[in-house]
């Protein structure tokens, strides 16, 4: 059993239990070839890029009703400052954006999600989302045409889509250029095809041309607070292939995180916006801010909460510790 994983997982459990006083935890992961940058002199390590990662975003069903009754600004009013404090923002879009009528609003037992284009644009535009993953089991809810329309509408809104439900080559990655740095995102969805081969190949293909490579995975067992062996094997394979960071989604609850070969793996960030109000775990998620520098990556973890389709964070205090 990995003692690093156990230590961080236990800390995460305590951190989430203390959500009423939201605690940001900073983790420093240094390159073995270069010393870590002191916090006060991080600028000496070159220009940093700050990327915020959030979990599952679903805008149909009761979330859509909240948009209609309270306006699009109501959903993320409590997390707008968190989102603004980043150069790039990345999440998992659990559904499609199409002109089709909602099925889930008529019958919430039918788990096929589509988001009204005008509503979705009104929600996402103020958040300045940079990229959204479609590597999940809902991005084909309205067929291949719905998937293609979703990609098109995101592109028109200035949001880079990446990932495919079947990990189709040519659609699973995207490249973001910020501050003359190239951040590459590779999506992976395990529920239809458990093989991580295509994602591994894409990481290897991109490695030489990217400043940082992030694997964003949709995997694991719903509502389980621990990752399974398949998640762990795939995550380690991504790092072995060249990924600098692995971020996961789908379980709808926060799972543990670990350090493997000097790289961070966050197995599940839980929900960032969903109407799963039936348990504590499904309403309490995690936002991960990664500050990438030449010699280190600094992580700040911020618990989030969704109560009746209103996402928020509390007052943050910061605890810090170093990892070799």
Q: Decide if 116 is inside a domain.
A: yes
Angle between helix 117-124 and 143-156 (nearest 10): 40
Over residues 63-82, the pLDDT tens digits come to 999 999 999 999 999 999 99
Q: Decide if 303 is inside a domain.
A: yes
Give the count of domains, the chain. 1
Over residues 80-119, the pLDDT tens digits come to 999 999 999 999 999 999 999 999 999 989 999 999 999 9
pTM above 0.95, yes or no: no
Higher-confidence position of 5 and 41: 41
The rounded distance, in Å, linking the Cα atoms of 89 and 311 is 16
CB count within 10 Å of CB 266 equals 27
pLDDT band at 12 (very low <50, low <70, confident <90, very high): very low
Strand partners, 28: 298, 322
- Domain range spanning residue 107? 55-314
pLDDT band at 45 (very low <50, low <70, confident <90, very high): low
For the record, the structure tokens of 120 come out as 């979705």
Q: Decide if 274 is inside a domain.
A: yes
Q: Decide if 158 is inside a domain.
A: yes
Q: Decide if 161 is inside a domain.
A: yes
Q: Decide if 231 is inside a domain.
A: yes
Q: Inform me whether the pLDDT recorded for 1 exceeds 50.
A: no
Over residues 262-320, the pLDDT tens digits come to 999 999 999 999 999 999 999 999 999 999 999 889 999 999 999 999 999 854 534 33
Q: What is the CATH number of the domain that holds 134?
A: 3.60.21
Q: Decide if 115 is inside a domain.
A: yes
């Amino acid at each position: 059993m990995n003692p690093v994983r156990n230590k961080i997982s236990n800390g995460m459990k305590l951190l989430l239990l203390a959500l009423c006083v939201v605690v940001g935890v900073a983790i420093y992961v240094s390159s073995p070839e270069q010393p870590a940058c002191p916090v006060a002199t991080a600028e000496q390590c070159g220009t940093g890029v700050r990327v915020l990662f959030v979990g599952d975003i679903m805008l149909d069903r009761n979330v859509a009703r909240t948009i209609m009754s309270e306006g699009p600004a109501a959903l993320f009013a409590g997390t707008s400052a968190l989102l603004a404090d980043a150069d790039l923002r990345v999440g998992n879009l659990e559904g499609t954006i199409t002109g089709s009528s909602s099925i889930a609003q008529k019958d919430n037992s039918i788990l096929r999600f589509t988001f009204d284009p005008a509503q979705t644009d009104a929600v996402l535009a103020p958040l300045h989302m940079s990229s959204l993953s479609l590597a999940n089991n809902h991005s084909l809810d309205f067929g291949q045409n719905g998937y293609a329309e979703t990609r098109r509408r995101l592109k028109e809104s200035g949001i880079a889509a990446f990932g495919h439900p079947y990990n189709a080559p040519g659609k699973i990655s995207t490249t973001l250029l910020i501050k003359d740095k190239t951040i590459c995102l590779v999506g992976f969805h395990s529920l239809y095809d458990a093989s991580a081969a295509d994602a591994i190949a894409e990481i290897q293909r991109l490695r030489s041309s990217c400043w940082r490579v992030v694997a964003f995975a949709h995997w694991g067992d719903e509502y389980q607070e621990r990752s399974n062996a398949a998640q762990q094997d795939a995550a380690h394979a991504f790092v072995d292939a060249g990924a600098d960071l692995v971020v996961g989604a789908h379980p709808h609850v926060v799972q543990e995180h670990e350090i493997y070969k000097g790289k961070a793996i966050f197995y599940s960030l839980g929900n960032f916006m969903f109407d799963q109000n039936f348990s504590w775990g499904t309403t309490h998620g995690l936002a991960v801010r990664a500050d990438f520098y030449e010699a280190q990556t600094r992580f700040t973890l911020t618990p989030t909460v969704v109560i009746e389709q209103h996402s928020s964070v509390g007052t943050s205090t910061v605890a810090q510790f170093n990892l070799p």
